[in-house]
A and B are shown apart, each in its own frame.
Chain A
Amino acid sequence: MPEIKVTPLGAGQDVGRSCILVSIGGKNIMLDCGMHMGYNDDRRFPDFSYITQNGRLTDFLDCLIISHFHLDHCGALPYMSEMVGYDGPIYMTHPTKAICPILLEDFRKITVDKKGETNFFTSQMIKDCMKKVIPLNLHQTVQVDDELEIKAYYAGHVLGAAMVHIKVGSESVVYTGDYNMTPDRHLGAAWIDKCRPDILISESTYATTIRDSKRCRERDFLKKVHESIERGGKVLIPVFALGRAQELCILLETFWERMNLKAPIYFSTGLTEKANHYYKLFITWTNQKIRKTFVQRNMFEFKHIKAFDRSYADNPGPMVVFATPGMLHAGQSLQIFKKWAGNEKNMVIMPGYCVQGTIGHKILNGQRKLEMEGRATLDVKLQVEYMSFSAHADAKGIMQLIRMAEPRNMLLVHGEAVKMEFLKGKIEQEFSIDCYMPANGETTTVTTNPSVPVDISLNLLKREMALGGPLPDPKKPRTMHGTLIMKENVSFMLVSSEQALKELGLNEHQLRFTCHVQLQDPHSDADTLHRIYTHLKSVLKGYTIQHLPDGTVIVESIVIKVSSSAEDSNTKVLLLSWSYQVKTWTLFLEGLPMQSKPGSSPNHLVIESLF
């Protein structure tokens, strides 16, 4: 049976990392290669031993696809590609290709320089790994090889995030990565056509949540900023160059305008340059509003938001500053933080996840005394706020996506089966499809029903229709006889047996089986035959029974002849003959049924050649 195998790599219940292996039509594809941010040892990498115990992965994988630049989806990429070894193609969208190396390098610096780890990938490895990347455009089919093709769809969530459609022959799989079904200020919502994949693979981490509205999150953000400004405090917002910075800037600008606020808002210049550069390149990835704005002006040309200068950090009075990097682990945001941390009127708003080892991570865990370089301690007196703006699909979103794509089966990864039974039931009920939830390390096998299109010859079609009887009834399938010819491994044709034999230059043979049944009957041969005929006619209603002048009775295609035994004229011998198409028959004679058993050897085998 044709089947697709899906295995989320990893162990136990850990949900911090994405790395899924799919076997489809003889091809092996790895989806994402994430790092688990919670572990410090080898457990943070996916378990590649499932693929091979030792040695390179190149021979076992046809391609690797990365959905977006978040570290829990691409963090282990250089490790896998350069340390374990993989030389095959790596696919990702253009923005992901541009942003991944920056994040990986940042992450490497934190892990090696800050935490002093040794068994980690190097800067050169990141560069070497990115050389293997083949960028994808949206909605463009890419042939990985003769049989495997992939296509990227818009996923929302972050800049460059994609959902991937993978097809081998007539079997296909769609992997969603992380996606979002509601548009936000700078990204659109995920979209896919009714591609009807055999399996739709989706994360289930947020499947059992109902999201608080964007408006409430924004209200909270604005309220906190406003509270600080009102009491004369300074607000630091550490951001990564792309994504949320944009959104929060637009939000503040609109709010300042509406409320006629005067406190200055700044963003660091490093931010502007990078962000502008990338947004120019990837304008198609942002939503309609941004695109219109961008055409008219510079991405960061706001009325109330100005470029930051280092010296402004010492200015008195309230202000808001957006600065990189996002986790307070180095650079300008850390410098500003050190200056402002001692004043309880000030505030730092962390808009996203911070990796272990960074100051961001420490203060989000409630640490109020930090050890800085040179044994100096920093007292954290300012207010620390953690706000999540990341866009994920929730329970409703998953249902919407299934409605869009119409998969034949659903597969949810990274969920505990016990906590997902309701969702599984909901999906199965609403869409009448199976929903699988493999645990990490477990393989799910989904049987597919690939449809193979076959042409039928017009003669055969006409003949079958002419055989009469009512029109085809799905409840009463009728056997049709024909021959399937496969030409050049590609096209299929169904033709009549005669035509096939003609093309092959073969003679047709017919097989008939016979058997003899003995009866005691004193009547003449003709009378006995007639009695059998009348008896069968009364007993077998609904069947075609004919009594032919040549001394035979025909029941459908079974022929009955009567002759007398040579030894005793009272003993009649019935000769029954049937073609090989008749599977079983039952002879009702004088109330005693006599059956042929399928597979039993006939008393007498007659082969007649008709041509």
Chain B
Amino acid sequence: KQHYIQRRRRTKWTFARRHQTTWNKHQECSCRAVFERYKDLHVYQLEHPTQVLEWTSGNSVCVAGYSQSKNEILELRLPLKLLADENKSLCAERDFKVSHGGFTDGPVRCLTHIPGTRCAVTNDGLSSDLQVWDLGGEESDVIRRTGSIKGKRSASERGSRIAARPSSAPQVLHGAQISDVQLTELASGETLYKLETDSADPLSSLQFVSDTVFLAGCCNGSVYVADTRTSAPPQLSHSPSSAESVIWWTDAAAGPHPSSRRVIRVSSSGQAVVSDLRNLGGAGCQAQLDVQTPGRCSQVKVSWAPTLDDCISVSGFSGVVQIYNTRLWGAEPQEARPLFEHRGHAVSSQQTDDSVPTFVTSHIWHPERPRTLLSAASDGSVHVWDWVDPNRQGGSPTP
């Protein structure tokens, strides 16, 4: 244990120094580097850090605190300047607007917005019960709790993952482990579907890839694909690695074209595996990601870019968000260099306690704007950034 702590400290120092030098070098030698990495950059400081970032519309996100007792859920509207494409120069408004806010009794570890409604569902990471919220409308700026959904486990180490059904009446898929996954109708509380499996593997991700088909990623790396319309057993794809202490996170690209439906799995040791949704066990491509502190991470997030082909983003290993182009990856795992790194959270950390380095708790892509992301870190910072593809500097932007 002693050794582990020592190693961490050294790693932190090296990391900080390496990145600080890079930052300063950029600042001192080239305007190009300072300005041309980002088209837009906004930096905010929340009163309390958030672990959740969830779109509630094209221009608003929800964040929520995760301290042990009382926390706030906030709905933030993006700054007008970011969204004003034609009249950007005449718009001076750079601030987030807190459009709605509410209070919770415990931490918020997972927050999912129900599409087409003003409703959100949260989980506190302590049990598998879910809380249901009304995000408020024009008449009130208060986010109110309207109900709850009982989960299978009254005590759970990681809590439940939640996924909202993309269309049709408000329904949520949720569960803390693979055998608990169920689909609940919000209005009635009725269970419409249950995943039939005996495995008790804890989940690290849960998402719909179409209106009825969903993907459940387990911490051990295995992935289940099932259809809520049938009671047939799910398709199982085993973990890419049998190493016990390794945790895996998954994301599926739900593109319109079947060929773009791919799944990426990233492990706590930095291994990344991409496979086709229709053939998860088959040959895809792999890489060893350039992550700073492999092994020490609990909130890794991996995400396919919604509009950029083959791009994925990874965060949670440190205070950096990395973007990779998977097209460059091959069948054999090789070290991959990120296409772009957002180092803002690490470099200008607002952390008061120096012994714990700032790490990114979550990040999301804007659903339409190709290169706009939001990222949040453990020091309460939230950044909104529109990055410039270094390979296309000076040229026209990728569609």
A joins B in a complex = yes
Residues of A whose CB lies within 8 Å of any CB of B are 206, 208-213, 215-217, 219-220, 222-223, 226-227, 258-259, 364-366, 383-388, 394-396, 399, 418-423, 425-426, 429
Contacts of B97 in A (CB 8 A): 208-210
Are B43 and A425 in contact (CB-based, < 8 A)? no
The complex places the Cα of A217 from the Cα of B348 at a distance, in Å, of 15
CB-based contact B27/A210 at 8 Å? no
In the complex with contacts A212-B43, A258-B27, A425-B142, A383-B89 CB distance below 8 A = yes
The interface-forming segment of B99-107, B168-176, B191-199, B245-253 is B99-107
Question: Are A425 and B103 within 8 A (Cβ)?
Answer: yes
Q: A386 and B31 in contact (CB under 8 A), knowing A215-B43, A425-B142? A: no
A418 x B46 contact (CB < 8 A) = no
A419, B100: Cα distance in complex, Å: 8
Give every chain A residue within 8 A of B138 (Cβ-Cβ): 418
Of listed A210, A220, A419, residue having the most chain B CB within 10 A: A210
Docked pose: A428 CA to B148 CA in angstroms = 26
Chain A residues near B103 (CB, 8 Å)?
425-426, 429
Residues of chain A lying within 8 A (CB to CB) of residue B92 = 386-388
Contact yes or no, B45 A422, CB < 8 A: no
Is B187 at the interface (CB under 8 A from chain A)?
A: no
B44 touches A421 (CB 8 A): no
Q: Is the interface of B mostly helix, strand, loop or mixed?
A: mixed
Do A212 and B35 touch across chains, with their CB atoms under 8 A apart?
Answer: no
* Complex interface: chain B residues within 8 A of A386 (CB): 89-92
Q: Which of the residues B35, B44, B87 comes within 8 Å of A211, measured between beta carbons? A: B44
Pick the 5 closest A-B CB pairs, nearest first.
A422-B101, A388-B92, A212-B94, A213-B43, A210-B96
* CB of B98 closer than 8 Å to a CB of A: yes
CB contact under 8 A between A420 and B35, given known A213-B43, A216-B43, A217-B94: no
Q: Select one of B27, B96, B102 contacting A422, CB under 8 A.
A: B102
Instruction: Select which of A209, A227, A418, A429 is within 8 A of B98 by beta carbon.
Output: A209
CA distance A12 to B61 in the complex (A): 31
For chain B, which range describes its interface: under 10, 10 to 19, 20 to 34, or 35 or more residues? 35 or more
B72-A426 in contact (CB<8A): yes
Enumerate chain A residues within 8 angstroms of B34, measured Cβ to Cβ. 219, 223
Report the minimal beta-carbon distance from A206 to chain B, rounded to whole angstroms: 8
Task: Report the number of A-B residue pairs with Cβ-Cβ less than 8 Å.
Answer: 98
Does B76 reach chain A (CB closer than 8 Å)? yes
**Inter-chain contacts of B87 with A (CB < 8 A):** 366
B64 CB to closest chain A CB (Å) equals: 13
Interface membership of B79, Cβ < 8 A:
yes
Chain A neighbourhood of B43, CB < 8 A: 212-213, 215-216
B29 CB, nearest partner CB in chain A, Å: 9
Give the chain A neighbours of B72 by CB distance below 8 A. 426
B157 interface residue per 8 A CB criterion: no
Across-interface contacts of B93 in A (CB, < 8 A) = 388
A-B contact sample (14 more), CB < 8 A, given A212-B95, A384-B90, A418-B139 = A210-B46, A211-B44, A216-B41, A385-B89, A386-B91, A386-B92, A387-B92, A421-B140, A422-B98, A422-B102, A422-B143, A425-B142, A426-B101, A426-B103
Determine whether the beta carbon of B95 is less than 8 Å from that of A210: yes
Interface residue B141 (Cβ < 8 Å from any Cβ of A):
yes
Bound-state Cα–Cα, A422 to B75, Å? 11
Question: Is there a chain A Cβ closer than 8 Å to B244's Cβ?
Answer: no
Q: How many Å lie between the Cα of A425 and that of B43 in the bound state? A: 27
Closest chain B residue to A399 by CB distance?
B47
List the B side residues contacting A425 at CB < 8 Å: 103, 142
Cross-interface CB contact of B95 among A209, A220, A426, cutoff 8 Å: A209
Within 8 A of A (CB), among B51-100: 70, 72, 76, 79, 87, 89-100
User: How close is A231's CB to chain B, nearest CB, in angstroms?
Assistant: 13
Residues of B within 8 A of A208 (CB): 97-99, 141
Please indicate the chain A residues that have their CB under 8 angstroms from the CB of B90 in the complex: 364-366, 384-386
Q: Name the A residues within 8 Å of B118 (CB-CB).
A: none
B42 part of interface (Cβ distance < 8 Å): yes
A227 nearest CB neighbor, chain B only: B35
Nearest CB of chain B from residue A370's CB, rounded to whole Å: 15
Closest to B38 in A: A219
> Is A421's CB under 8 angstroms from B142's CB?
yes
| Contact indicator B141/A418 (Cβ below 8 Å) | yes
Bound-state CA distance A259–B27 (Å) is 8
B354 in the interface (beta carbon within 8 A): no
Q: How far is A212 from B87 in the complex, measured between Cα atoms in Å?
A: 19
| 11 A-B pairs with C-beta separation under 8 A | A208-B97, A209-B98, A216-B42, A226-B35, A258-B28, A259-B31, A386-B92, A421-B141, A422-B143, A426-B72, A429-B103
Contacting residues, chain A, for B101 (C-beta < 8 A): 422-423, 426
Report the Cα distance A258→B24, complex, angstroms.
Answer: 11
In Å, the complex CA distance between A598 and B353 comes to 67
Q: How far is the CA of A422 from the CA of B89 in the complex (A)?
A: 32
Q: Using A394-B95, A396-B45, A421-B140 as known contacts, say yes or no to A212 and B79 having CB atoms under 8 A apart.
A: yes
* Bound-complex Cα distance A212 to B44 (A): 5
